[in-house]
Structure 1
Amino acid sequence: MKKIVQVSAIDMTMNNFLAPLNKASKESGFEVHTACSPGNYVDEIKKDGLIFHDIKIDRKISPLSNLKSIYKLYTLFKAINPDIVHVHTPVAAVLGRIAAKLARVPTIIYTAHGFYFHDDMNEKDYKFYFNIEKYMGRYFTDFIFTQSIEDHEIAKSNNFLKNKSNHIHISNGIDLDKKFNYESLSPKVREDIRNLHSISEEDIVVTFIGRLVEEKGILDFLESIELLGSNNIKYIIIGSLPPGERDTETFNKLKNFEDNPNVIFTGQIENVNEYLYASDVFCLPSYREGMPRSIIEAMSMKNAVLATNIRGSREEVVKNETGFLFEINDSQAIASYIDKLNSDRALLTKMQENGYERAHKLYNEKDVVEKQLEIFNLVTNK
């Protein structure tokens, strides 16, 4: 049987983002192994019929720990003898590719969910991370899957791979047929969630989804609530701090907002689709993204979108059509756009409908998975 090993830093990524690809790979005839740090999702991964391997992978550069991870991954790859190793997330992608190369894995694939270097970095840091990506691409990678067009063009124009044709733009997608099917949900879902949190129908709900860390812009978002001219706005914060996350300082600062009656923290939840159905506007003030799934999820549930003008986000959001774009660290812009949408409900509705159409036109998960399976089958059927 053909074998593939999927590598990510944490099990949340493996379960929440890679499950559709992993399940489709299994159905396509692959023996699917997963390697990552264990957390709350191990049982879910195993329920999907996948083989789970407990490999601790730090999410930061830590030489001793990183070397241990490389050795454990190398040992695992030698034991499994996979046809493909497919890596994800910045640090895990580097360690996994080094281990796979040492183990002589026939095909090494890297999905760039968002190159770590970005426009807001100083020149020194940008060059450092850019060169890591380029070096790892040229000497430790056979295929690069990029989700954003900008990442695809950067990788291809800078020859991240020796074979230019192996740069594959796969985009990103969500399950529009089941979980994020707007038409399948009842208006009572919206009513129940709003009643649960004492939100009236006249209130505008603005939702954030993501890791509660600085680079996601969570503090910029929360600070904008003090700058609003409107008094009928509720913020819903969906997300948590994953195990092993470096940025704990930001998480501690969130306590300053816990007593605000207009801010609701849900933690990590399973019914994100229902909360987005009950929401009006989605805000992602992130500093770095690949091709954010959360924006697509929000559009599929008819939310207008506010997002930073960065790679990935500006590809998904059509300025003034499906939402607004603003610069990093601009709480005032967030507040101003929320006030604008609150005062102009016709514009809000127009953006919600436009986003819904865009999600269905461009971001179907089935198409994204199929593109990847085509490459998997191509390299294993030689």
Structure 2
Amino acid sequence: MPKKIIQGVTSSLSILFVREQVQFIENHGYQVTVVCNKDFEISYDGITVDHIPFEREISLFQDIRTLYKLFKYLNREKPDIINFSTPKAGLLGMIAGRIAGIGTRIYIQRGLRLETAEGIKKYILYATEKTACTLSTHVIVVSDSLEEEMVSRKLLRREKVVRIGKGSSNGIDTKKYDPAVINSDRLARLRNGLGIEPTDVVIGYIGRLTRDKGSNELIESFVDLADKYDHLKLLLVGDFEESDPIEEKNSKRIHSHEKIIHCAYTDGMEYYYSLMDIFALPTYREGFSNVSIEAQAMGVPVVSFDSTGARDTIENNRTGLVVKSNDAEGLSAALEDLIHHREKRVRLSKHARKFIVDNFDRHHMQKELLKFYNTLGEQGDYNVEENDEYIGA
């Protein structure tokens, strides 16, 4: 009989990101069910999904009810392995799994929100992370620097840490993110529609427009640079977020500056990367950064802050440039370096795609995850120190 895995995430939207991974694991001898809430109506074709009413924000009464439902569910299903990620599902999953006596309890840590939290919220986030890590048998981290951050904050012991390959949640589809498959006519239509000239140098950014993502520093750096370089444009793809807003003056600049192009999230991101000469990643924290490896897979060098998770996606001075975190002047200097030196952009671009294909291809990452699952005994007796291929030390 195949081993049973229950994989938990908070939001049903996350199904879009784990579907291929779940199908791959099922095709190699496991029975996998995904549990999540039902906050979005999406297709579950090809995977088995059960609904548990996880709430994103803290709601003591509702969280206790959800914990009880999850315990009853796990106690009934009796999985061999549970694998939960995202803060709320991770916390409740590890508690319910421990009470239900599940032998192998995996918590996937994709990024520490507490790094940039303040006040009482920071203490609450620390307590939830500490609890999830303590009650797990394994903690998968998605980058080396995230491991270092968690160990230094005494959230867990290093011997409990597991890293799949060189990191990331699931790698990326390097056949989709490949300059060789871009349709030149479609790209030309997009370029013309956005008003980008062939002679323009385009700095790009894809992601939420928030303070934590360094959007203030990026806008301010660009405005200064745009005064010096007539052929410069900034392409922003993403939405504003009210819970972590950027400064009002920068929000107004995004809407009014003649050289800033702002688009909402859309399909065909590979075409937007193809318009960029430089990708900016001035984030304050990440667990990892998929947009960074997507950009590099498309041959676009990345300029990033030296922040948790983000720095693991770049080979400094080989596929991109890493500058001191939260340093707007350093960001401007690195961007200007690549604006001014086209030959350096070309050199970084040549190395970028190979680096990503060799280390973060999705199929490769799925095979590494399968190897990890295959090492797990029925009682979760995987010895991390004896399998250092997976250790992020």
> TM-score, normalization: structure 2?
0.82
1:190 aligns with 2:187: yes
The equivalent position to 1:221 in structure 2, one of 218, 222, 226, is 218
Do the aligned residues in 2 keep the contact of 1:137 with 1:161 (CA within 8 Å)?
Answer: yes
**How far is 1:232 from its partner?**
2.3
Residues 228-270 of structure 1 deviation map (CA, whole Å, 9 limit, x = unaligned): 12232222222346xxx87164498875222333333332222
Do the aligned residues in 2 keep the contact of 1:83 with 1:380 (CA within 8 Å)?
Answer: no
Do the aligned residues in 2 keep the contact of 1:3 with 1:32 (CA within 8 Å)?
Answer: yes
Alignment length (residue pairs)? 372
For 1:381 and 1:28, locate their aligned partners in 2 and report how far apart those are by CA, in whole Å: 17
DSSP 3-state at the match of 2:288: coil
Q: Which amino acid aligns with 1:371?
A: E
Structure 1 unmatched runs, 5+: none
DSSP 3-state at the match of 2:315: coil
For 1:283 and 1:162, locate their aligned partners in 2 and report how far apart those are by CA, in whole Å: 34
DSSP 3-state at the match of 1:42: coil
Do the aligned residues in 2 keep the contact of 1:230 with 1:339 (CA within 8 Å)?
Answer: no
Q: Which amino acid aligns with 2:146?
A: D
For 2:339 and 2:62, locate their aligned partners in 1 and report how far apart those are by CA, in whole Å: 49
1:151 aligns with 2:146: yes
Do the aligned residues in 2 keep the contact of 1:176 with 1:300 (CA within 8 Å)?
Answer: no
Q: Which amino acid aligns with 1:230?
A: Y
Q: Which amino acid aligns with 2:141?
A: T
For 1:348 and 1:295, locate their aligned partners in 2 and report how far apart those are by CA, in whole Å: 15
Do the aligned residues in 1 keep the contact of 2:87 with 2:129 (CA within 8 Å)?
Answer: no
Q: Which amino acid aligns with 1:3?
A: K
For 1:252 and 1:217, locate their aligned partners in 2 and report how far apart those are by CA, in whole Å: 14
- Please say which of residues 302-311 and 228-237 is displaced more in the overlay: 228-237
CA 1:56/1:162 → structure 2, altered by over 3 Å: closer, same or farther?
A: same
DSSP 3-state at the match of 1:86: strand
Structure 2 unmatched runs, 5+: 380-393
For 1:9 and 1:218, locate their aligned partners in 2 and report how far apart those are by CA, in whole Å: 27
For 1:97 and 1:8, locate their aligned partners in 2 and report how far apart those are by CA, in whole Å: 12
Q: For residue 80 of structure 1, what is the aligned residue in structure 2?
A: 77
CA 1:24/1:269 → structure 2, altered by over 3 Å: closer, same or farther?
A: same
Do the aligned residues in 2 keep the contact of 1:146 with 1:167 (CA within 8 Å)?
Answer: yes
CA 1:91/1:213 → structure 2, altered by over 3 Å: closer, same or farther?
A: farther
After TM superposition, the structure 1 = structure 2 runs for residues 1-382 of structure 1, keeping only pairs within 5 Å, are 1-16=2-17, 18-40=18-40, 42-43=42-43, 46-47=44-45, 49-118=46-115, 129=125, 132-138=128-134, 140-153=135-148, 164=159, 166-170=160-164, 171-172=167-168, 174-228=171-225, 229-240=228-239, 247=243, 249-250=245-246, 256=252, 257-379=254-376
For 1:156 and 1:110, locate their aligned partners in 2 and report how far apart those are by CA, in whole Å: 15
Alpha-carbon RMSD across the aligned residues, in angstroms, is 3.1
> TM-score, normalization: structure 1?
0.84
Do the aligned residues in 1 keep the contact of 2:174 with 2:357 (CA within 8 Å)?
Answer: no
Do the aligned residues in 2 keep the contact of 1:155 with 1:167 (CA within 8 Å)?
Answer: no
Do the aligned residues in 1 keep the contact of 2:104 with 2:137 (CA within 8 Å)?
Answer: yes
**How far is 1:129 from its partner?**
4.9
